[in-house]
Amino acid sequence: MNRTAIEMELAASVLKLLGDKTRLTIIGLLKDGECCVCEFVDLLNMSQPSVSQHLRKLRDAGLVKERRNSQWIFYSLNKDHEAFSIIESVIQLIPDQKEKLHQLEISGRRIRCD
């Protein structure tokens, strides 16, 4: 028995959340920092309600944290999640989203607050 194993039920529920292209991309975008909803809407080319609903699922599962700053709400990975090791592993195996964030930055649509 793997001493530090993530219980089957929990692992399955996390993998299920990752098993959607939109949410998986969101996780990828959060690899190196925070993003706010409007950035996701921009980068994913999806409606705002749809993005919000995906973020809600991730937040309900505790996989992401949110932080309000002025009118924006910034999302980030919750590294304290019991199953964060799954996120960590998967994030290494999918295409890096750094370039997309960079494009956002140089087009002046990147939101930065701290």
Q: Does 106 bind a copy of itself (CB under 8 A)?
A: no
**Burial 61-88, CB ≥16 within 10 A → b, else e:** bebbbbeeeeebebbebbeebebbebbe
Among 27, 55, 77, 91, binds DNA (CB under 7 A): 55
Per DSSP (E only), the strands in the chain are 35-36, 64-69, 72-77
Give the number of C-alpha atoms closer than 13 A to the C-alpha of residue 15, restricted to the C-beta side.
Answer: 9
Q: Which of residues 39-98 bind a copy of itself (CB under 8 A)?
A: 83, 85-86, 89-90, 92-96
3-state SS class at 95 = coil
Single out the segment in contact with DNA by CB under 7 A; choices: 3-11, 47-55, 81-89, 99-107: 47-55
Which residue is listed with tokens 């505790």? 62
Q: Using CB under 7 A, which of 14, 54, 83, 91 touches DNA?
A: 54
Q: Could you say whether residue 56 binds DNA (CB under 7 A)?
A: yes
- Ranges within 74-113 binding DNA (CB under 7 A): none
The residue with tokens 């998967």 is 90
Phi, psi of 64 (to 5 degrees): -125, 155
Q: Which residues bind DNA (CB under 7 A)?
A: 16, 20, 22, 36-38, 41, 46-50, 52-57, 66, 68, 70-73
Q: Which parts of this chain interact with a copy of itself (CB under 8 A)?
A: 1-2, 5-9, 11-21, 24-25, 28, 83, 85-86, 89-90, 92-96, 99
